[in-house]
Amino acid sequence: MASNHYDVAIIGAGPGGYVAAIRAAQLGAKTAIVEKQYLGGTCLNVGCIPSKAMLHIAEVLHNLESVDDLGIHLPQAATFDMSKAVVFKDKVVKRMTGGVGTLMKANNVDVFDGLGTVDASRKVTVTKEGGDKQEFTADKIILANGSVPFVPNMPGVDGKNIMNSDTCWNLPKLPESLICVGGGVIGAELACMFNALGTKVAILEMLPTVLAPLDEEVRRLLVRILTKRGIQIVTNARVESVADDGKQKKVVAQTEKGEQSFNAEYVLMAVSRRPNTSGLEQLMEQGLDNDRGRVRVNDKMETNLPGIYAIGDLVHGAGLAHVASTEGEIASDNATGHEAHMDYNVVPNPIYTFPEVAFVGLTEAQAKEQYPEARVDRFPWIAIGKAVAMDETEGFTKVIMGKYGEILGAHIIGPDATNLITEFSLAMHGELTGDEIRETIHPHPTLSEGIREAVLSVEGRPIHMPPKQPARSR
């Protein structure tokens, strides 16, 4: 398998790295990939995929609460078995990571297991778990090291029953109570999951709001829904320490009410993630341009060192798997002599709470600041037949359009939002206007009708909702 020289070598086999390897191989490059832990990286092993498997289980359990209204009568109350849920999660992960291995083999990509260390001469040293080393060189190297959970420096964070987003997937039992430190996307998704499974959950967020990137109208509704389900949300809460308190953990935080203590069986640290710079020490010493570990690149994903590229969580960006994959393709195109440029103007953002949330482009506040003539409206799910039939009527589709009908942003909270946002993403990338969406026949009854109706609402002429003003005055 092993060669001494490759056209392209990738460090890290997450969704950025393995996609970069496939693309490089497709373009005819002799390709190698180095992975120190597991194919698929954080996303497939301890991130996107296991979380969605567990969120699916949680949503099914949540939906059982209302099946009586559908004429379905369960003989007894539903119960949850964490051990069986973990088995299902592991089966999903194994299938996905095994698929990555198959893809590497099918594309003739050589896989090196171990920690990859790189220097500016583009020599790669792979150190295996037992200490054995292999070396090879490459014409071009793509750094796809990914990220690791950020653990704040405070007393007690290394104690028992302290989890992060990488380590919360194999619990022996369901926690009775949980404090989630951090109210970003990861914290909100995991809080939603544990709450639906039966855990008492509290979120402590340092900022004035949770889910800060969201459009304010969407965020308010999601917070209201999560609070109604019993999730305690405390903002402006700066956590200062974690300690044992009998059989529970005590979290001390400075809040608007002064110092407060919160108790729970487990603590989940979901503050943020930081770049994984393991193996890049030599490059850093040799001048690799970075900002506290985040490697600086241009729109070709090139670093300041010749022949070395960087992608994914290692660089500044959205921290999303699908963005890392796109960056991987761009890097491989350029590494093999096919010029390509990364465009971050249209990046769909999915949030897998239930209801789901997804958005692309500008929020209403951003649009109003940049484009005073921007028009905004929303269409509620309760007016869409398929949503009513599914008993999924919370939320709306919100569209922000510019002076000439261009889509400036779109925000969806409700059923299947993470899939539906793609139509708006495609429209924005293709520079389509609301006219093209409006003139496209959408099938009935489907959730996608809400997309067209939202555009019609912005134009002041919704079909399945009374207009805000009579047609004649419009």
Q: Of 223, 240, 272, which marks where a domain is finished?
A: 272
Task: State phi, psi for 302 to the nearest 5 degrees.
Answer: -85, 140
Q: CB 186: neighbour CB atoms within 10 A?
A: 22
- When pLDDT is averaged across residues 183-189 and rounded to a whole number, the result is 96
Quote the domain boundaries for residue 30. 5-146+276-335
Asked if the model's pLDDT at residue 471 lies above 90, the reply is no
For residue 90, pLDDT over 60 is answered with yes
Mean pLDDT for the stretch of residues 81-101: 96
Q: Which of 96, 309, 78, 117 is nearest to 196 (CA)?
A: 78
Residues 36 and 75 in one domain: yes
Q: Pick from 85, 148, 140: which is nearest to 328 by CA? A: 140
Distances (CA, A) of 416 to 8, 350, 422: 38, 10, 11
Residue 169: pLDDT band (50, 70, 90) is very high
Find the radius of gyration of the CA atoms of the chain.
24
Q: What is the pLDDT of residue 353?
A: 97
Q: Answer yes or no: do 217 and 107 share one domain.
A: no
Which pLDDT does position 474 carry in this prediction?
46
367 in a structural domain: yes
Whether the per-residue pLDDT at 363 is higher than 80: the answer is yes
Query: Does 84 reside within a domain?
Result: yes
pLDDT value of residue 159: 87
How confident is the model at residue 439, as a pLDDT? 97
The predicted model gives 67-87 an average pLDDT of: 94
At 468, the pLDDT band (50, 70, 90 cuts) reads: confident
Residues 179 and 221 grouped into a single domain = yes
Query: Which residues contact residue 43 at a Cβ distance below 8 angstroms, ignoring those fewer than 6 apart?
Result: 14, 15, 49, 321
Q: Report the range of poorest mean pLDDT among 90-104, 154-168, 206-220, 275-289.
A: 154-168
DSSP-assigned beta bridge partners for residue 123:
137
Q: How many angstroms separate the CA atoms of 221 and 417, rounded? A: 14
Whole-number Å distance between alpha carbons of 382 and 216: 21
CATH number for position 395: 3.30.390.30
pLDDT of residue 1: 45
- Mean pLDDT for the chain overall: 95
Task: Kindly state whether residues 301 and 385 are assigned to the same domain.
Answer: no
CB atoms within 10 A of CB 279: 22
Mean pLDDT of 380-400: 97
464 within a domain of the structure (yes/no): no
Do 220 and 301 fall into the same domain? no
Angle between helices 48-63 and 185-197 (to 10 degrees): 40
Quick one: pLDDT band at residue 467, thresholds 50, 70, 90? confident
pLDDT (mean) for 4-22: 97
Q: Is residue 469 part of a domain?
A: no
Is the predicted pLDDT of residue 57 greater than 90, yes or no?
yes
CA–CA–CA angle 79, 82, 87 (5° rounding): 120
Domain final residue, candidates 234, 254, 272? 272
The answer on pLDDT for 2 being more than 90 is no
How confident is residue 473, by pLDDT bands cut at 50, 70 and 90? very low
Phi then psi for residue 15, to 5 deg, are -65, -20
Contact 410, 215 (CB under 8 A): no
Single residue among 224, 256, 272 that ends a domain in this structure = 272
CATH label of the domain that carries residue 171: 3.50.50.60
Alpha helices in 286-353 (DSSP H): 321-335
Q: Say how many domains are in the chain.
A: 3
In a domain, 379, yes or no: yes
pLDDT, tens digit, 9 for 90 and up, residues 19-55: 999 999 999 999 999 999 999 999 999 999 999 999 9
470 is a domain residue? no
- What per-residue confidence (pLDDT) applies to 472? 47
Name the percent of the chain lying above pLDDT 70.
98
Show which residues are catalytic. Answer: 444
- The reply to whether 402 and 313 lie within a common domain is no
Domain check: are 12 and 142 in the same one? Answer: yes
- Are 228 and 366 within one domain? no
Residues 20 and 127 in one domain: yes
Residue 3's pLDDT band (boundaries 50, 70, 90)?
Answer: low
Is 70 exceeded by the pLDDT of residue 469? no
Same domain assignment for residues 27 and 45: yes
342 within some domain: no
Name the band, by pLDDT with cuts 50, 70 and 90, for residue 230. very high
| Domain co-membership, 139 together with 167 | no
pLDDT tens-place string over residues 412-465: 999 999 999 999 999 999 999 999 999 999 999 999 999 999 999 999 999 999
Residues 294 and 266 in one domain: no
Is the pTM here over 0.85, yes or no? yes
Which amino acid would we find at residue 196?
A
Q: In this structure, which amino acid lies at residue 279? A: G
In a domain, 341, yes or no: no
User: What pLDDT, in 10s, does the model give residues 239-276?
Assistant: 999 999 999 999 999 999 999 999 999 999 999 899 99
